[in-house]
Amino acid sequence: MKAIVCTKYGPPDVLRLKEVQKPIPRDNEVLVKIHATTVTAGDCEVRSFKMPIWIWLPMRIYMGFRRPRQPILGQELSGEIEAAGKDVRSFKKGDRVFASTGFALGAYAEYICLAEEPDEGVLALKPTNMRYEEAAAVPTWALNALYFLRKANIRSGQKVLINGACGSIGTFALQLAKHFGAEVTAVDSSEKLDTLRGLGADRVIDYTREDFTKSGQSYDVIFDVVGRSPYSGSIRSLKQRGFYLIANPRLAKMIRGLWTSITSGKKVVTGAASFKKEDLEYLKELIEAGKLKSIIDRCYPLERIPEAHSYVEQGHKKGNVAITVEHNPKS
């Protein structure tokens, strides 16, 4: 089968299209014929290994020193089950599915084997009203958005600000916050504001022209998707008993967040999201009800994944960048 292999850590051209052995499912696994995957900022971080200094060594030990121990990158996918192991009960051949592979990676390929109940990531039937490219963009980042927003226990009428609202997590967080009844302010660059209005944002802010922490506005929840909002200003902009959610925190913000949570009525939530199958099925229900959608900025074929990585690293994407995996009869 064809796969994009990361030959070493470095720029996008370390990613090469190669022929590799097609996997064979174990008794508790399904073989998924991948129709679509995505390229995200997280994939670019793994490829380049641009990690915060405080996690550099443990991540290098975990991922591999000279090159990724799992050379086929990619964290999310959608496709069709081609075969199922004898112990699999929830899925059958022909089922259309979407999945997050977590740190197990492996989605930049024509096929992948996934456990019925994965230790890493999650697997479920895909929404019937989504194309494969749209469905592939959901499992990892929509689950991240749902995880953090639930930590804040959002109620109808609350004011929520999302910083970095036009990215993979942010576009889902905006829609979910609106679904929960919040009044949403979305922050991003000027060329992305129309997209955010189209997703239902009540107010948009161009961060290149305005610092939301200096506007005098206060919020019940501030969700910093990119981890770059000023810490002190964000805390000042929170209402008492408000929540500051940080999806991509640096060590300093994690330490300050712990102190803030202990010493004040305001709560700072950081850390990695946990994925559950029932949560992915909940998102599937919202999608099929027309209450949640994927924003696809660009779509590339599998062999142009290096080009997709270059585009994502520029930081201009709106929503998600999808990869279409074409199959020929011999693949």
Burial degree of 100 (CB within 10 A; 0-12, 13-18, 19+): buried
Question: What local confidence, expressed as pLDDT, does residue 331 receive?
Answer: 46
Residues 253 and 306 in one domain: no
pTM, entire model = 0.94
Question: What local confidence, expressed as pLDDT, does residue 142 receive?
Answer: 97
* Structural domain count, the chain: 2
Chain mean position to CA 31: 23
Question: What local confidence, expressed as pLDDT, does residue 58 receive?
Answer: 83
Q: pLDDT of 131-159, one tens digit each?
A: 999 999 999 999 999 999 999 999 999 99
Residues 9 and 132 in one domain: yes
Structural domain containing residue 145: 141-269
CATH of the domain at 241: 3.40.50.720
Question: What local confidence, expressed as pLDDT, does residue 62 receive?
Answer: 79
Asked if residue 279 belongs to a domain, the reply is: no
CATH of the domain at 17: 3.90.180.10
Residues 133 and 153 in one domain: no
Residues 261 and 160 in one domain: yes
Residues of the chain with pLDDT under 70: 329-331
Question: What local confidence, expressed as pLDDT, does residue 52 receive?
Answer: 76
Asked if residue 196 belongs to a domain, the reply is: yes
Asked if residue 276 belongs to a domain, the reply is: no
Question: What local confidence, expressed as pLDDT, does residue 57 receive?
Answer: 79
Asked if residue 275 belongs to a domain, the reply is: no
Q: In terms of Cα–Cα distance, which of 321, 276, 266, 317 is closest to 299? A: 321
Asked if residue 33 belongs to a domain, the reply is: yes
Residues 179 and 228 in one domain: yes
93-96 contacts, C-beta under 8 A, 24 or more apart: 95/125, 96/125, 96/126
Question: What local confidence, expressed as pLDDT, does residue 329 receive?
Answer: 57
Asked if residue 262 belongs to a domain, the reply is: yes
